[in-house]
Amino acid sequence: MGQRRHWTPLWLAHRPGRRGLGVWLALCVAWVAMASLPALAACGGQVRLTQPVEFSAQELAGFRAMAPLRVLPLDAPPMARHDTQDGYSGIGVDVWCFITERLGLRYEIIQRRDLSIAEKIRLVQEGQADVLLPLSANSERAARGIFTRPFYESHYAVIARKDWRPEIRGLADLAPYRVGVLKGVASESLLKAVMASDRLVVIDDVTSEALFQALRDGRIDVAVFSKAVFEEKRYQHEYFDLAVVHTLHDAPRVYGFYFHASPRNQQIVQAFDRYLAVLDVSGAVAEHEDGERQFIQRYVIQRSWHLVVLTAGAGALVLVVVLAALLYRYRRLARLLAASNEHILQQQQALQAVNQDLERQSQTDGLTGLANRRQFDHALLREHARQQRTGAPLSLLMVDLDHFKHVNDRYGHAIGDDYLRAVARVLNTSVTRATDLAARYGGEEFVCLLPETAATDAQMLAERIRQGVSSMALPNELASPPHLTLSIGVATLLGGKTDAAQLLAQADEQLYAAKHAGRDRVHAVVLR
């Protein structure tokens, strides 16, 4: 059921005689039942690979032979949106269709829109369903299920009544207010960590209408809710007395697919992660993030025609006048909306370009062009968590330039900077996998993070980097031989309870062991 099914009505394909009327009616009933099955809309066309992903014929045959996955979709635009005609569509749906089609995985949609998010999560954790499509990740959910690599990030919004504008600039500013949140959403645990229990109102509601009604009635001061979903519900349910007063950029929602913890699903998650590591979803994001504009247009049209129906009984003359007025109003609104959308689009594009540049600068070392300490620290925590979940080896290289102080003292800091850039080029050409990360750790120290890399492979890579720098023969009289050399410490985590900080400390310890042994060498340790 990965693509939309189109059924031909049986009464058009066959005209029964009187004798076969009973059989014909039974077939019609069966067709109605089949046509009502939930489905995913045709999807995946806006997703592309940045580099090939290879699986063996045996691996693909294994995926095709698996029993169908039981999929519980969430109605959470723009990741997944339910449409009564087309089933489900959205960014997450596009990604799901793209990957499952290439792996040959079969699946069936479990249509349970009567369940809350908390209830759907529980069904997956208990094994009554295989996967939630999609779900934002947090540590509590990760402890009882398996998340794929994330592929989309959004934010929560703080929503209040339009007649009241609280001073809120971050999570900490919510403490004095009565804050409402839906039971089971990721923000519930986030808010519990920063707020007193008597100020947090947890509302158990499938549709979220009870949350917004509590806000309107004054039983809560503000609500924390998905910004994208609220913008659509605002026009669907005419919540024009409510508005977004702040976007919680300090608490991003990171989306992936959430699987029941089983050996089979662990294998599927690993396959998904291989695709997600090299997947470009920008086309799907651009297509589905304009849901607000679409719903505004639909609202204007629906409201205009509703007024036409209400005034139709006043007579033909009145009807003509009303239609002309509505047409003029609609065209005026359409022009204003088009101009507003164009202006918003230009602002969004400019802001996106600035944000992308700022994000790149915030995660990139200005001298070498490698990842900086901030990006490395985030990557280390993420890959360590994945290693603890999957058991795959995780290797870390700590690299230091030998006698680098002498280079700066003897040749000057400008030449020293040239040496650092030269070492960075060697790291860039040596650390080539999309999942790996080379970064400047600070001063003359560099690090290389190598997920799913065995100890022997990590040590071979370290030796290749050491030889690559040595072969450049950059002058350094204190070294032996008298050119720039490296000392490298390697730590490989295979299992156990070693945390990310301990892994880093072990790599650093091996680096100093290489220094004490005479420099220009590699020392390694395996942590079990």
Beta partners for residue 133, in sequence order: 73
Residue 29 lies in a domain: no
Give the residue-averaged pLDDT of 13-40. 44
What are phi and psi for residue 409, nearest 5 degrees? -70, -40
Please check the confidence at residue 305 and state whether its pLDDT lies above 60: no
284 with 311, same domain: the answer is: no
Indicate which CATH number applies to the domain containing 443: 3.30.70.270
Q: What is the mean pLDDT of the chain?
A: 85
Residue 16 lies in a domain: no
- Out of 233, 254, 275, pick the residue that ends a domain: 254
Give the residue-averaged pLDDT of 140-151. 95
What are phi and psi for residue 237, nearest 5 degrees? -110, 10
Q: What is the pLDDT of residue 86?
A: 56
173 with 94, same domain: the answer is: no
- What is the CB neighbour count within 10 angstroms for residue 476? 21
* Per-residue pLDDT tens digits for 54-94: 999 999 999 999 999 999 998 888 888 877 665 788 899 99
CA pair distance 365, 377, nearest whole angstrom:
13
CA pair distance 523, 463, nearest whole angstrom:
10
Q: Which residues contact 476 (CB under 8 A, 6 or more apart)?
A: 402, 403, 406, 407, 482, 483, 484, 485
Contact present, 330 and 300 (Cβ < 8 Å): yes
CA pair distance 468, 491, nearest whole angstrom:
21
Across 352-374, b (16+ Cβ under 10 Å) vs e yields eeeeeeeeeeebbbeebebbbee
CA pair distance 458, 464, nearest whole angstrom:
10
pTM over 0.75: no
233 with 259, same domain: the answer is: no
Residue 213 lies in a domain: yes
In the structure encoding, which two tokens stand for residue 110, read together?
């479990």
The amino acid present at 453, given as its one-letter code, is T
86 with 212, same domain: the answer is: no
Please check the confidence at residue 15 and state whether its pLDDT lies above 50: no
Q: Angle 227-236/291-311 helices, nearest 10 degrees?
A: 10
Range of the domain at 169: 153-254
263 with 401, same domain: the answer is: no
CA torsion angle for 282, 288, 292, 298 (degrees, to 10)? 150
What are phi and psi for residue 353, nearest 5 degrees? -65, -45
* Per-residue pLDDT tens digits for 328-370: 888 888 888 888 788 888 888 877 776 666 666 789 999 999 9
Indicate which CATH number applies to the domain containing 282: 3.40.190.10
CA pair distance 225, 459, nearest whole angstrom:
48
Q: Angle 316-363/373-390 helices, nearest 10 degrees?
A: 100
Give the residue carrying structure tokens 């998904």: 272
Q: What is the pLDDT of residue 8?
A: 32
Residue 337 lies in a domain: yes
Please check the confidence at residue 140 and state whether its pLDDT lies above 50: yes
Please check the confidence at residue 136 and state whether its pLDDT lies above 70: yes
Contact present, 72 and 123 (Cβ < 8 Å): yes
Q: What is the pLDDT of residue 11?
A: 31
Residue 452 lies in a domain: yes
Q: What is the pLDDT of residue 223?
A: 94
511 with 436, same domain: the answer is: yes
Give the residue-averaged pLDDT of 263-268. 97
Residue 3 lies in a domain: no
449 with 503, same domain: the answer is: yes
159 with 120, same domain: the answer is: no
- Out of 266, 290, 314, pick the residue that ends a domain: 290
- Comparing C-alpha atoms, which of 137, 157, 154, 155 is closest to residue 146? 137
Please check the confidence at residue 320 and state whether its pLDDT lies above 60: yes
Give the residue carrying structure tokens 């009870």: 210
CA pair distance 157, 137, nearest whole angstrom:
17
- What is the CB neighbour count within 10 angstroms for residue 518? 10
261 with 127, same domain: the answer is: yes
Please check the confidence at residue 300 and state whether its pLDDT lies above 60: no
Please tell me the total count of domains within the chain. Answer: 4
Residue 476 lies in a domain: yes
299 with 385, same domain: the answer is: no
Q: What angle do CA 512, 485, 410 make, to 5 degrees?
A: 105
CA pair distance 345, 337, nearest whole angstrom:
12
In the structure encoding, which two tokens stand for residue 302, read together?
């629906």
284 with 343, same domain: the answer is: no
Q: What is the pLDDT of residue 161?
A: 94
Strand pairing class (81-83; 87-89): antiparallel
89 with 65, same domain: the answer is: yes
- Out of 333, 358, 383, pick the residue that ends a domain: 358
Please check the confidence at residue 457 and state whether its pLDDT lies above 90: yes
List the single range of 170-179, 258-267, 378-387 with lowest mean pLDDT.
170-179
Residue 9 lies in a domain: no
